[in-house]
Every structure is written in structure tokens, then in C-alpha cells.
Structure 1
Amino acid sequence: MRINRFSLYFKIFVGLWGTIMIFAITPLLMILVSNQESRDAFYEHAKKGLEKNIVIDIRAAANSGNIPSLINQVKRAEKYLNSEIFIFDKNSKELRNKKAPLGADNIIKTMTEDKVVLIKKYSDDKNDKRLIRVIKTDEYVLISYPTGDKPASFSAIIFAKHVNAFIYIFFLSSIASLIITRYFSKPLLTLSKAVKRISEGDFSVRVAEELNRKDEIGQLGKDFDIMAAKLQHIRNTKEATLRNLSHELRSPLTRLRLSLELARAKAGDNATQALDRIELESDRLNEMIGQLLEISRIKSTENLEKETFGIKSAIQIVLSDGYFEANETGKNLTYSEDAEYFIHGNQALLISCFENIIRNAIKYSSSKVDVKVGCEDSFIVVSISDDGTGVADEHLSEIFKPFYRVQADRDRKTGGIGLGLAIAKTIVDAHNGYINAINNQYEGLTIEVRLPIDSV
């Protein structure tokens, strides 16, 4: 998984982990910047502690009978304690076939059953502070002789003594930082996802119960739920008003059409043009009301009646009329697919969706419209491309909104009222799909519909 170094999660984690590690190494840093006397005292203390730990580890390895482990521990002691160590078994044989120094046999003989540790001076010189150390276990006798090598450095001793502590601190601080970071970032991620759903028009999302917190973040979740509920109420009220208004307009519109027919029967030829204009506008109004009711019906239907069918069959129904309409306007409509794909959805609604998009493309194309069906990332992808003038980039995301028209005069000439693509988007959303508009490289516009493919 790729880590985003600009994410809040990463920043909180690094900040917490870095703070813990700084506090952990602060005592050591204070020793390093102190005077020489303090550093020497700390060095001797660390060296004695290291010697004690090494002796314990050597004794444990010897008693376990693990020869490789014992040899590794001996090498570690020789590295840090400036000594040469000999390992003798019960037959006084050196395990690593090293030549025993003079006096080693006498030292082994002095290690009686009740004597497990022996420390003696290396020489009779009073000024020589070097010592010979002897450890006896059940199976072995280990004799450590001092060497004339340069003592291990301050940093080497400190590292060897505290390496385990550093490792523990590193892992514990990492785990603690991950837990704390997750504690604070998880609710923010939940809120972020909820905000995204709100931006996509899903006002039913709620987060307070999922957050389940009593702190400021929990209060933020409650405030978010209140906001989402108010937005949902506003949208529902708006849709209900629009739906009721559309229904109410149907009755006077019907009476208008009836009166129009009566007027046409009584009027002379001089009134024909005016009456035709009234009829045209009433037809447009009737179409608009029908489309508004269609949008409202789809949005208010929680569970659509769905079935599994081939996407090709739905598009072919639309194309049968599309070919005729394209020929009538002197344009070319083509269709291609790479395979047959199945979808679980409402066939009538999807036919309406593709009909709105294809008719819209024919209306605004210059000479041709291409319809292509393919598959990408478990989605059926239906692309409808025209060779018209396209749409300015700033309008691409707006053309799916009801009554939104890029060029009002052009839409009036073609009879558009700005609801066809809005209906298409409503239908695609009801099928958990995606719809977007893309300007072609050279000319025209492509409407791309992505619908979840059915696993049949």
C-alpha cells in the first residue's frame, strides 16, 4: 500500500512516533553533551551492565547445550569486552580447537563442583588491573583472558548495552503511534466519506452512530447528521413541490388542449398560424411536465423492479428509432460492441436513459454519432459520441442538472428544455452507476455511462 506523505494520518503518526523517540533518547543525548567525567562514569556503568548481561547469556547458552549459540555469545563477549575466551569441556578440550594458554589446566582444576565463578589477577604487577574471569557450567568451563586491544568505543558499548531497549522502544512507540493515529484519523475518514456522499446527492448518510464517541468529534458527527437531515428535508420538499406542481399543471393543460381544438374548429385560416404556435408550446409544456414527473417517480422509487438482460437488447430498441431519426436529418448513426454483456436492472428505464442520450447526440451532431459498448473494471461502459461543437469544460458537470442549458437559444431551436440528460443521470444513479461528459480530442462530445456488470 502506497503511503501518502501529505495525508493527515501520516503526519499524526510521524509526529507522535518522533516525539516518543526523542523523549526516549533524550537521557542518552544529555550524557553525550555532558562533561568527560560524567561520560566516563556512564561508560563504566554501561560496560559493567553489559558484562553482566553477557555472562547471563553465555551461561544460559552453555546450560542449554546449544553449541552454536554458545559460540556466538562468546564472540560477542570478545568483541565488546576486549578479551579472549576459551571454552573447555569436561575432558579439558577446547571447543574451537584454540591453543590453551599456560596455566589454563591449573585454573580448570581449581574449579571444584561448588565453585562456579572465579576472578583472579592477570599478573602479580600491582599496577596491572587486568583480570582473568572463569565461569563454570554443568558441561563447560569458560576462561576469559584480557587482551591488549583498544577498548570498545563509547558508542559501541552503549549500543550493545541498550540495543534491546532501543528495539523495544521503537516497536512499542510505533504501535502506540499507530493506535493513537487511527483513533483520531478514523472518524475523520468516516466524515470525509460522508461528505463525499453528500456532495454526490445522497443526503440519507448519517455518521453519529458509527462514530460512537462522546468527545468533540462525536459532537461534530451529531452536527453533521443534523445538517444532512435538514438538507434531505429541503430536497424532499423541493421534489414534492415540483411533483405536486407538475400534477396540478396537467389538468389546466388538458383543458387548454381541448379549448385549442375547439378554437381551431371555429376560427378561420387567419388564426391557423397562431393556433399552431399555441399547440407547439403546449406540447413542449406537456413534454416538460412528463419529464419532471419521470424524474420525480424514479427518485421516489426505493426498490426498482429489476431483471437480468443483455445490454445490447436495450440499446437495439433505441437504435431502431435512432437510425430513422438520424437518416431523416442526414446524419450517420453507428453501433459497435466487443461482446454481449448482461446487467441486472430495470430495462424500461435504461432504454429511456439511452434514448435521451442518443437523441440528444443526434440533435447536436454535425454528421455522425457513434455508440460503443465495452467493459472496464467490472463495469459495462456505453459511450455515445457526436461530432458537434462540444461543451465548454466548465459546463461538463452541469449539463446533467435539470433545466441546465449551455446555449438557451440553440436549445429552443432544437426543442430542448434541459431535462433529457437529467433523466439519464437519475436512471444511472438508481442503478449504482456513473455518467459523465467528456469533450472529444478534436470535435464533439462523448457521454459515457458506466453500469455494474451482472455476474451471470
Structure 2
Amino acid sequence: MFLPKLNSLYGRIFAIFWLTLVIVVVGVLAVPNMDPRKSRNIPPEMHQHMTDSRDMLMGRFVNENDLNHILSRLKRIDARRTPGDKHRPDFYITTLEGKIISQDIRPKAKYRALKNFTSSIDFDAKPTQRAYGHYQIAGPVPIVLAKQRLLLYFGFDWQGPPPFLMRLLDHPIQLLLFIILLSTPCLLWLAWALSKPAQRFAQAANRVAQGNFIVDPSLEKGTSEFRSAGQSFNQMVEAVNSMISGQQRLLSDISHELRSPLTRLRMATSLAVRKQGQSAELERIDTETQRLEQMIGELLELSRMQTDSHMSREIQPLSSLWEEILSDAQFEAEQLNKSLQFNDIPNVSISGSPNLLMSALENIVRNAIKYGNNVIKVTFKTQDGQLTVTVEDNGAGVPDSELSQIFRPFYRVSTARDRDSGGTGLGLAITESAIRQHSGTISASRSKLGGLLVTFTLPVM
């Protein structure tokens, strides 16, 4: 028969299942048979003690021929027995047919117990014992008194099991519930053994989802299945770390290699202007060079954000991140004869990269200032651990058919927000990447003010 190893998950489940099953079966089937109020066989030590007592009585009355006199003396022996003397039993004599001939048995409860016991046993079978409350009767043992063959019974004071157990034995449903209760710790331990490694995996997965690629040695503990999965998970994290580090080095090299020729091109353009004077062609070259340099910078920033899962995360209040940005943006809007309105920033904190979070809101607000006619409105709202931020303006807006496209890199709206405005089409893409790296969502729709409405959500603490 195949038995799984106990250090494996299936082995532990197998062991706990069978242990629980054994507890339930033993409890339901065996415990009722241990009820002392049912006739049970007498242990060998007790049977030997009863036999020795029988021999002692026969030796004491070997010369007595008057049975009534013997019964009277047995009554006096029983009378001298005190309640605290647990080792001296009461002696009862019956005929071979079970008729009680012992004299004046008191109290009546003992007589009724003896009467019930003698009427419920097989005299030809082995001696048995049975409890009646706190009194136990055992027998019969054959005895010869006054040359007559009789039967000897023994009565003992007996404490018995606690009343709680007796009530369980009287009510099978309660007994079953009690046995199930006893097996519950095994089941709880099994549930804990299964859930604890799973919880560690869930926490590790959440950390990865939040951008924290950290190797967790605790994942490699527990059953063999979880240890194997934990090792694979940590190897995956290390591989991703190596890949991201390589991409970051590549981005750094690309940044250096692209910016160097652009810088030389701008220097060459400046020298040409000094030698030949200003011209429309040289101005166009300088303008496109600046635009290309800006585009490369934003592109590198977007690529870095999309691959930078190791961004430093801090817990900071929202007000310390965005209050100064909004104040500066409000001042700039006033210089353009525009109005920027915003409500109080909620008194909550957020875990994330301060630079990315500040850049996300700043890009959206400056975009609204740039394209709004004269009104820009920023609204903050928190509910159920989620922060919702809306930024809207009363500009020309974006056609409904293009709202879902504006967060794509290099995407430009064909109407008001075109290439002539000087944008590179990367600002909203950078914002979308920053929000997504903080487990948030972002969307665009038409504002009631007539322009664009950008809404993003972030989990807060």
C-alpha cells in the first residue's frame, strides 16, 4: 500500500484525515461499549481477588452447617464495613437460580441493584460487573456454604465517571458532537498548516505586484510542495531582478549615446549661426533638435518607469506630495488669466515613490492648464481605502472616439492637441505608467465643463 511521506503536503493531509477518522470511529463505536452501566467482563486481577475472597469465606465457615447463621454473620461483616473502606466489599449470597437469600440488605438501592443484576445475567457464563450509580456489583462466583452450592456476589462503592461523560453516553448525538469537537484541533492544525504557506505566497505576490521584488527565504519552508514552489518563486524574483538591472544599464547607455550626438549637433548649429548669421533653416534645425532631445528624455523616463520595479517606496501624507505642486500650478494659471480650483487634500497617507506620484498629478494638471480655456478644477475624494482624483477643464476636449487612446505613447489628438502645440505625446503615458505601478487606475472622459476629464484612483492608508 502506498503511503505518502509525512513531510509532504499530501502526506500530512493523509495522516490528519486518518487520525481524525480513527478518533471519530473509536469515539462513536468504542466509547459506548465502555459504559460502566452495561455488563462487562471482569479483569483477571479483580477475578483473582474475588476468588481469594470466596476461598477466605469458605475457610471461615467450613465447620458451619447452619446457613442462616452464616448469612447472619455475613450481615455483621458487611455492617462493620465503613464508607471509607473501599477495599472491603459487600458479600451477597443467592441460590443457583438467582434467588437472593442474604438477610436485610440496606439501603434499598443496593437491594434493587442486586435484584436487577441477578435477573439480567447468565449464571453459567463468566463473572461480569455492572455499575448502578456509585455502586458496582460483580459476580457470580460459585461458593459452597453449609454443604450447599450457592452463588457469591460482591458489591463495591464506586465513584464512576463524571456526570458529564454519563450524559454523553446517554445521548448519542451529544457524544458524536463531543467526538467531533475533540477532533477539531487536528482539523484546525491541518487548516493552519495549509493556509500559512499560502498566506506567505499571497503576501509575496502582493509585494511583487506593488513592485517590490524581494527574495523571501520564508517561502522555502514547510512541506516539500511549498518548499519547491517557494524556491521557484525566489528564482523567478532573482531572474526578474537581473533582467531589470540589465534593462536599466541599457537605458543608461542609450541615454548617454543619444544625448552626446544631440549636444554636438546643437553646438554645431550655434557655431553655424555665429559664422553665417540667423536663418530660417538653422532655427528649424535648432528647434527640431530641442524637440528631439525632449522626446528622447521623456521616452527614456517612460521606459525607466515601466521597468523600474525597484523604485524606492515611502509612506507619506498626500498633502506633503501634492500641496506645493497645486499651489505652483495655481500661480502659473493666474499668470495666464486662468483659474485653478481644488478642494482640500484628504488627510491620508500613501505608500509609493514620491517622484512618480508628484509627476503623475503634475502632468495632468499642467496638461489641463495648457489646453483649458480659463477654468481648471481638481477634486479629491476618499472612500473605502481608495483615493479618487479628478482633473477637468473647459477647453476643446478630446473626441469621444479618441478618449481611450490618449494614454498611448506618442499618441496625439488630431484637433487641438496636435504636434504644433509642442507636445511629444508622452506626458499622459508617463502618468498612466506611474499610476499603474502604484496599483491604481486611470481613465479619461468628457467633462461637464466641456473639456477633458481625467480620473485616477490610488489605494491609500
Q: Tell me: CA distance 1:341–1:312, structure 2 relative to 1, closer, same or farther (3 Å).
A: farther
Deviations 1:128-157 (A, max 9, x none): xxxxx97678xxxxxxxxxxxxxxxxxxx9
* Deviations 1:76-112 (CA, angstroms, capped at 9, x unpaired): xxxxxxxxxxxxxxxxxxxxxxxxxxxxxxxxx8425
> Which of 290, 301, 304 is equivalent to 1:283?
290
User: Match of 2:455?
Assistant: 447
CA contact (8 A) 2:219 2:226 kept: no
1:174 corresponds to 2:184: yes
Alignment equivalent of 1:215, drawn from 210, 224, 227? 224
**Equivalent in 187, 192, 195 of residue 202 of structure 2:** 192
Aligned residue for 2:342? 336
Give the conservation status (yes or no) of the 8 Å contact 1:357–1:384: yes
* Separation in 1, partners of 2:273, 2:413: 31
Please state how far the C-alpha of 1:256 moved relative to its aligned partner: 1.0
Structure 2 partner of 1:9: none
Rounded Cα–Cα distance in structure 1 between residues aligned with 2:313 and 2:133:
82
Structure 1 residue runs without a partner (length 5+): 1-13, 32-41, 54-108, 125-132, 138-156
CA shift, 1:257, in A, is: 1.1
Q: Could you give the per-residue CA deviations for residues 270-294 of structure 1, whole angstroms, max 9, x where no partner exists?
A: x51x433322321122223444566
Matching residue's letter, 1:119 = L
**CA distance in structure 2 between the aligned counterparts of 1:391 and 1:310, rounded to whole angstroms:** 32
- Provide the rounded CA distance (Å) in 1 between the counterparts of 2:14 and 2:411: 49
1:51-450 aligned at under 5 Å gives the runs 51=37, 110-112=105-107, 118-120=113-115, 160-202=170-212, 204-213=213-222, 215-266=224-275, 272=280, 274-291=281-298, 302=312, 309=320, 311-324=322-335, 333-338=339-344, 341=347, 352-362=359-369, 369-376=376-383, 381-386=388-393, 388-389=397-398, 399=407, 404-407=409-412, 412=419, 414-421=421-428, 423-424=430-431, 435-440=440-445, 444-448=452-456, 450=458
Contact residue 366 and residue 386 of structure 1 kept, 8 A: yes
**How far did residue 451 of structure 1 move?**
7.5
Structure 1 residue 195: deviation in Å? 3.1
Superposed CA deviations along residues 47-104 of structure 1, whole A, max 9, x for unmatched, are 9948459xxxxxxxxxxxxxxxxxxxxxxxxxxxxxxxxxxxxxxxxxxxxxxxxxxx
Distance of aligned partners of 1:182 and 1:136 in 2 relative to their CA distance in 1, 3 Å threshold = closer
How big is the shift at 1:381? Answer: 4.9
1:212 is displaced (CA, Å) by 1.6
Q: TM-score, normalised by structure 2?
A: 0.54
- Taking the aligned partners of 2:228 and 2:202, their CA distance within structure 1 comes to 15
CA contact (8 A) 1:381 1:451 kept: no
2:218 alignment partner AA:
E
Q: Identical aligned pairs, as a percentage?
A: 24
Aligned length: 334
Q: Residue 115 of structure 2: SS of its match in structure 1?
A: strand
In structure 1, distance between residues paired with 2:178 and 2:284: 86
Amino acid at match of 1:437: I
3-state DSSP class of the match of 2:222?
coil
Tell me if the contact between 1:381 and 1:450 (Cα under 8 Å) persists in the aligned partners: yes
Tell me if the contact between 1:333 and 1:368 (Cα under 8 Å) persists in the aligned partners: yes
Rg comparison, structure with higher value: 2
Asked which structure has the greater RCO (Cα within 8 Å, sep 6+), the reply is 2
1:178-237 CA distance string (max 9 Å, x none): 3223322332333234334334433x2323434423612211111111111111111121
1:4 corresponds to which residue? none
Secondary structure of 1:206's partner? coil
Q: Report the residue type matching 1:183 in the other structure.
A: A
Q: Supply the AA of the counterpart residue of 1:336.
A: F
Cα distance change, pair 117–283 in 1 and its aligned pair in 2 (3 A): farther
Q: CA deviation at 1:356?
A: 1.2
SS class of match (1:389): coil
Find the counterpart in structure 2 of residue 78 from structure 1: none
Segments of 5+ residues of structure 2 without an aligned counterpart are 1-12, 40-103, 120-130, 136-166
TM-score normalised per structure 1: 0.54
Is contact 1:436–1:448 with CA below 8 Å preserved after alignment?
Answer: yes
**Alpha carbons of 1:368 and 1:167: their partners in 2 closer, same or farther (altered >3 Å)?**
same
Measured against aligned partners, the alpha-carbon deviations of 1:342-386 in whole angstroms (never above 9, x if no partner) come to: 869998776544321212345566885421134445676543235
Aligned pairs for 1:11-90 within 5 A: 49=35, 51=37
Give the Cα–Cα distance (whole angstroms) in 1 for the partners of residues 36 and 132 of structure 2. Answer: 17
